[in-house]
Chain A
Amino acid sequence: MTRLDIFHKMEYMAEKSCLGEFELMVILSVISLADGAYGVPIARQIEKHREHEVSLSSVYAALDRLEGKGLVRSELGDATPERGGRAKRYYQVTASGLRVIQQTRQTLTALWRDVPELGGVRL
C-alpha cells in the first residue's frame, strides 16, 4: 500500500464515521422502525421528535449519503395501490452503520459531560 493509499483510506474512514445532525436522526429512525423503515415513516418519526415539518427529499438525500458510506442498505418492496402502483424502498442499517452509531454516541456523550453549563457532569 502506498502512502497515498494510506491517506486516502484514512480520509475515507474519517468521512465514513462522521455523521451530520440530520443523518444521525435518519439513521436512528431507520433503526427504531426496524423492518418498516421507508421514506414516509422515517420522515414522520423525525417530525414527531423535532416538532416541525420534514422534507421527504431531504430524507432521501440523507439516506443516499448514508448508503454511499455503507451505513444503510436499501431494497424495493412490493408495489401498492395507495402509492399509484409504486414500490416502497425499505432501508436497513448495516453492521458498519451500527458501529458508527455507537462511536458517535460515545463521542457525543463524552463531549456533553465536558459542558457542565448544559447539565453535563465533568468527570
Chain B
Amino acid sequence: MRKSGPPRLAIWMLRHLYVPLHRDDLTGDLLEEIQSGRSTGWYWRQVLRATLDGLLQQTWNHRFALAFALLWTVPARTLWFFVFGFLGRHSEILGRIRYPDSLFFAIQLVVWLLLWAGVAVYALLFFLIRRSSPLQWLGRGFWVGPLVFMLVSFPTIGMAAPLMAGDSLLRLAPYFLSTLAAVWPMRFPSDAVST
C-alpha cells in the first residue's frame, strides 16, 4: 500500500468513467479498503472493472441513440452517393463552378443538412415516446454533429474524397459518429437507475 494514497490516474478514471450515481460510494469504499491494507494492484483491478461496468452501463443507457445512429448512417450515406452521382452525370455543372473550393463547402453543407435532419427526426421520436421536450439538447445536437463529422472525416476520408472512392466501414464512420454525438444526450429509458 502506498502511503500517498490511491493512484491519481485510477481516481481520474473513476471520476470520469464510472456511473455518477455510485461514484462517491465506490470511491469511498475503495479508499476505506486501501487504508485497511488492500494493495495498489487490488485497487487497480477494482477501478478497471468499475470502468468497464461504467462504459457498458453508458452504452446500455444510450442504446436507442446507438441504434438510431446506425440506422441513420445508411440513408445519409445513400443520399450522399445520390448527390455525387448527380454531379458526376452532370459534369458540366462542375465545369461552370468558378471557385472549385466552394464545392467542398457545398458538400459539407449537404452533410450538415443530413445530420440536422437526423437530429430533428430523433428529437421528434424522443418527444413522441417520452412526452418530454428535447429542446434543451436540440441546439447542441445541431452544432456538435457537423463538428464531429469534420473532425472524423478529415483523417478517415480526406477532404473531398468521400464521394469519389468506393464505400467501406471506415467511410461510414463519420456519419455514424457524428449522428451519435448529436443525439447522445437524448436518452429514451427514463427509468434507468445508473445514469
Contact = CB atoms under 8 A, between A and B. Distances in A.
Given A40-B32, A83-B32, A57 B27 contact: no
- Of the listed residues B27, B33, B45, B191, the one surrounded by the most CB atoms of chain A closer than 10 A to its CB is B33
Contacts of A82: 31-32, 35
Interface string B114-142: 00000000000000000000000000000
Contact of A55 (B32, B35, B50): B50
Interface string A65-83: 1011000000000001011
A113 interface: no
A96 B50 CA distance: 29
Contacts of A58: 49, 53
A89 interface: yes
B193 A67 contact: yes
B120 to A, nearest CB: 31
B31 A68 contact: no
B24 A87 contact: yes
A83 B31 contact: yes
Contacts of B24: 86-87
Interface residues of A, number: 23
A8 to B, nearest CB: 13
Contacts of B49: 55, 57-58
B145 interface: no
B146 interface: no
A65 B21 CA distance: 13
Nearest to A41: B29
A48 to B, nearest CB: 15
Nearest to A67: B193
A57 B45 contact: no
A112 interface: no
Contacts of B28: 80, 83-84, 86-88
B144 interface: no
Interface in B178-195: 191, 193-194
A87 B50 CA distance: 19
Given A53-B45, A56-B46, A86-B24, A61 B31 contact: no
Contacts of B22: 57, 60, 64, 89
A84 B24 CA distance: 10
A60 B32 contact: no
7 contacts: A39-B25, A39-B26, A56-B29, A60-B25, A82-B32, A83-B32, A86-B24
Interface of B: 18, 21-22, 24-33, 35, 42, 45-46, 49-50, 53-54, 57, 191, 193-194
Top 6 nearest A-B pairs (CB, nearest first) are A86-B28, A83-B28, A57-B50, A39-B29, A55-B49, A57-B53
